[in-house]
Amino acid sequence: MYEFADREIRPLVRQMDEQAAIPRQLIDRLFELGVMGIEIPEPQGGAGAQFFHAVLAVEALSRVDPSVAVLVDVQNTLVINALLKWGSEDLKQRCLPRLAGSTVGAYALSEAGSGSDAFALSTRAVESGDAFVLTGRKLWITNAHEADLFIIFATVNPDAGYHGITAFVVERGAPGFTVGRKEDKLGIRASSTCELLLEECRVPRANVLGETGKGYKVAIETLNEGRIGIGAQMIGLARGALDHAVHYTKERKQFGKAIAEFQAVQFQIARAATDLEAARLMVYSAARLRDAGEPFVKEAAMCKLFSSEAAERIASLAVNLYGGYGFVRDYPVEKLYRDAKIGQIYEGTSNLQLQTIAKQILS
């Protein structure tokens, strides 16, 4: 995966960032490599591998471009995981082979008034015969521009609170369903982030994911896994930034010698490498717990919190060590610095991770 990323993704990184798009040819290559369906069983076209392998793929891709990595991450840790665990046999047979072969998936929970308060949903789902009619608006939906299959959360009973939330599988092209404008973002610009509009969108009852009113369980359990995926994205990003910094400090000369020879620089590199190793071990540990069927909620929150903050520090250090060159787009580290910021925001802010960790420890 490292070789693929260096050979086929690295030459496109600046173009993708400036154009805010991932070429379809590159997405097709990801499908050909099998990284878009890592846990999907082999009979359904997937790799039949473990969650830990998805983590390794996301890390390797993030070292070169976190935008491409998050496309793979959402596909595997959110969309496919939700279908594998909660999908009916009919949904699995209809969706998993497509997700393994050529179809990009997206996961739509967030709304304008429902970010950190994830279950304050205003999107409604009203029963109508053998279907549900969905009306509402979703925001900040990763992969939405490329996706043909969406997991969308709506409430069937606002009075029931989070017990009214239900997850639905919605196809692009469904009447009343529209992918809206793409956000113009600070970082991970090639990764699409769009709004979704649902105007009396009719969804067959067979497309309910899990049980009616149990969508909160789908969301909570899937997001716990997704946080490990974001941890993997952040350690890959940090690895890329640190690699660039180490290489550059050996080349850049000040006062007659390479800046890597100055103890102050050496100590900063050493501390960054230590932070990265700690973050990597936390991500790997959480992924292994998940694969072993052991509790991992606290560990997922910890690895997401620590790795996202470490990635921002390490990317910032790389910019500093590049000096003025680190501040211009001709060099790679300013992009990684921009990309790092989102790690502390999406799939649960750092404050929410702290809340989760404290609750697990004190309960």
CATH code (residue 227)? 1.20.140.10
CA R_g for the chain: 21
Position 113 scores a pLDDT of 87
Same domain, 118 and 239: no
* Positions in the chain whose pLDDT score sits under 50: none
Same domain, 357 and 227: yes
Identify residue 320 by its one-letter amino acid code.
N
Same domain, 228 and 317: yes
Position 317 scores a pLDDT of 98
Same domain, 227 and 344: yes
- Rounded Cα–Cα distance for residues 198 and 192 (Å): 19
- Rounded Cα–Cα distance for residues 350 and 308 (Å): 8
Same domain, 165 and 296: no
What pairs with residue 194 in β-bridges? 141, 182
> Which H, E and C letters describe 117-142, residue by residue?
CCCCCCCEEEEECCEEEEEEEEEEEE
Same domain, 9 and 115: no
CATH number at residue 20: 1.10.540.10
Given a contact cutoff of 8 angstroms between Cβ atoms, the answer to whether 244 and 317 are in contact is no
Q: Which residues make Cβ contacts (< 8 Å) with residue 45, sequence separation at least 6? A: 37, 96, 97, 100, 101
Q: Which domain-ending residue is among 84, 103, 122?
A: 103
SS3 state at 253: strand
Position 238 scores a pLDDT of 98
Given a contact cutoff of 8 angstroms between Cβ atoms, the answer to whether 142 and 104 are in contact is no
Q: Which domain-ending residue is among 61, 88, 103?
A: 103
% residues pLDDT > 70 (the chain): 100
Q: Which residues make Cβ contacts (< 8 Å) with residue 42, sequence separation at least 6? A: 48
Give the number of other CB atoms < 10 A from CB of residue 361: 8
Same domain, 236 and 347: yes
SS3 state at 296: coil
What pairs with residue 134 in β-bridges? 125, 201
What pairs with residue 177 in β-bridges? 198
Report pLDDT digits (tens) over 286-330: 999 999 999 999 999 999 999 999 999 999 999 999 999 999 999
Same domain, 231 and 354: yes
Residues recognised as catalytic: 347
Position 114 scores a pLDDT of 83
CATH number at residue 140: 2.40.110.10
Q: Which residues make Cβ contacts (< 8 Å) with residue 289, sequence separation at least 6? A: 295, 296, 299
Report pLDDT digits (tens) over 140-190: 999 999 999 999 999 999 988 889 999 999 999 999 999 999 999 999 999
Same domain, 221 and 357: yes
Domain holding 177, by residue range, is 106-211
Same domain, 80 and 66: yes
Same domain, 73 and 150: no
Beta strands per DSSP E along 82-130: 105-108, 124-128
Our count of domains for the chain comes to 3
What is the distance of C-alpha 286 from the center of its chain? 16
Prediction pTM value:
0.96
Q: Which domain-ending residue is among 58, 81, 103?
A: 103
Given a contact cutoff of 8 angstroms between Cβ atoms, the answer to whether 339 and 237 are in contact is yes
Same domain, 71 and 112: no
